[in-house]
């Protein structure tokens, strides 16, 4: 599967999540947990005028990450840190080069998030 068709098959919401993971990876802030990723996505998407607008729940982020993992675009990392309930919290990291993400996602979304 070519990179272009791989990115075309995912929704703008998933592209936004992927682009945010790529930006965090570029800033050496990965692996990232879902609650931190949700906060960053909300900050970056506040002014985006696309179907991605609206409140992004942690469940939305988790669904996006599952889809992106199925597409081999992100990897789930199990950290030794545990939550108060004793469950480990997975974190995610980019599974493809950042440049592939920047070249493959929606251009308008890329310009909005990456500045």
Distance CA 108, CA 88 (A): 36
pLDDT above 70 covers what percent of the chain? 78
Distance CA 48, CA 53 (A): 6
Distance CA 29, CA 24 (A): 5
More confident residue, 98 or 44: 98
Sketch the domain layout of the chain as residue ranges. 3-114
**Third-level CATH fold of 3-114:** Arc Repressor Mutant, subunit A (1.10.10)
- The pair of structure tokens assigned to 64 is 């996006």
CA terminus-to-terminus distance, the chain: 29
Taking only the tens place, the pLDDT of each residue in 62-93 is 999 999 999 999 999 976 654 555 466 789 99
């Amino acid at each position: 599967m070519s990179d272009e068709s791989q990115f075309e098959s995912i929704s703008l919401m998933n592209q936004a999540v992927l682009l945010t993971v790529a930006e965090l990876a570029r800033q050496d802030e990965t692996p990232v947990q879902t609650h931190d990723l949700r906060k960053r996505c909300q900050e970056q998407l506040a002014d985006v005028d696309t179907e991605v607008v609206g409140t992004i729940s942690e469940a939305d982020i988790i669904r996006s990450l599952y889809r992106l993992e199925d597409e081999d675009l992100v990897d789930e990392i199990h950290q030794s840190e545990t939550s108060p309930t004793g469950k480990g919290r997975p974190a995610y990291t980019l599974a493809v080069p950042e440049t592939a993400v920047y070249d493959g996602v929606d251009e308008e979304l890329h310009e909005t998030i990456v500045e």
